[in-house]
Structure formats: C-alpha cells, structure tokens
Amino acid sequence: MEEQIFKALIDLISIINRPDRDKKMIASAGVHLETAAFRVLVGIGHLQSTSVGDLADMMGKNYSSVSRQIDKLEAAGLVQTYPSSEDSRVRLSELTSYGKEIHSMINLTRQRIMREAMGDWTPGEKTGLLNNLRRLSDSLNKFE
C-alpha cells in the first residue's frame, strides 16, 4: 500500500511541477511572469517571509538560481529583501503589496482550477482529503 501511496504522490507532484501547467496558470491569472520567477513568487508567498536557503530547500533548487529569481522579482517590485535581524548574513524575502496582489490573483486562479477539478467531490470527501494530506505531511515531517 505504501508504494501505491508514494506513486500517487509522485503523480501529483509531477502534475504540480509541470512548466506547461505553470504557463497556463500564469496566463489564466493574467500576470506576466517567467515560469521560474512564478514558482519563486509562489514559494515566498507560501513561506512569507523566508530566507533564500529555506526557499531553495523547499523548491529543491540551488541557492544561486533561487537568488537570481528573487533579484528579478525584487527589480519588478514584487518582492523586498532585507538582512535577517538574527543573522545579517541571511537575506530574507517577502512579498511587497504589489507582490501580494499578484499572489492573490494566482491563488484565485488556483482555487478556481481546484474547484473545477473537484466539482464532483462531496464536501466530506474534500474534508477527508485535506485532513489526510495534513496528517501525512505531519507524519513525514517527523523523519527530517
């Protein structure tokens, strides 16, 4: 059973990580971002605020490529960076007001897509999935 669960998770991750799906999401949300920058923006929005290292770890990307995308997002006014108060060598990133607007547009598009994809699911099935995904996440985090 565990192998089938793992395969299902890999299938979901593969769907989520497909650049062509990101491009469709970007277009549907009506925002203008490169795919790599889009993923970094979404990651920062999820972790708000975060270090480059933590974001790179979450995304499975190297530090320098994430840092370059953050620089692009900062130049576009979507992200602001500043040194950590705990360790000035660590650069933290968070969304600007404009970045939050764009992130909100992306979230609304993602919610619409999920609503359409799960249109024939009952509220109980959705709640069960959410509870089980949270439980699985909590269980797997114990093995870090």
pTM of the model: 0.84
pLDDT at 83: 92
Instruction: Kindly state the tokens that stand for 107.
Output: 């979230």
Instruction: Kindly state the tokens that stand for 30.
Output: 């009506």
Query: CB pairs under 8 A, 24+ apart, for 18-27?
Result: 25/106, 25/109, 25/110, 25/113, 26/106
pLDDT tens, residue order, the chain (144 aa): 999 999 999 999 999 888 888 899 899 888 888 888 999 999 999 998 899 999 999 998 999 999 999 999 999 999 999 998 888 888 999 999 999 999 999 999 999 999 999 999 999 999 999 999 999 999 998 986
What length is written for the chain? 144
Q: Measured between alpha carbons, how far is 50 from 31 in angstroms, rounded to an integer?
A: 23
Place of tokens 């992200």: 79
Q: Domain segments of the chain: what residues? A: 18-141
Q: Does 18-141 carry CATH code 1.10.10.10? A: yes
pLDDT at 32: 87
